[in-house]
Amino acid sequence: MQLKTFMKLSGELTLEQMLEKLRAVAEPGELDKLVASTVGRHSIGENFPNARLQDLYDRASGGAVKAQDWVDLAREVRQQKQEGEAA
């Protein structure tokens, strides 16, 4: 499931709440520099998390947001860009 969908189905989680869920499963201090706006960019495919963050999203979502979901989102973003360029 994509991050944006998970956040919506989890009671409309805010970006800040998702960030706190990530920090709860990370090592102490590991995500001190991560900000809510970065979580937002991840949720729409503007930027993509590295492998470690993908693992943390998986754990923070209780296994709902998997690595394959990031691959699928990247494919969707690429397709949307291509369609936009063709128009």
pLDDT (tens digit per residue) in 15-26 = 999 999 999 999
If pLDDT is split at 50, 70 and 90, which confidence band does 54 have?
Answer: very high
Q: Which of 61, 87, 78, 84 is nearest to 1 (CA)?
A: 61
pTM: 0.92
Three-state DSSP class for residue 11: coil
If pLDDT is split at 50, 70 and 90, which confidence band does 47 have?
Answer: very high
Residues 36 and 58: their CA atoms lie apart, in Å, by: 17
> Measured between alpha carbons, how far is residue 74 from residues 4, 21, 25 in Å?
14, 23, 24
Instruction: Let me know: does 64 contact 6? Beta carbons within 8 Å.
Output: yes
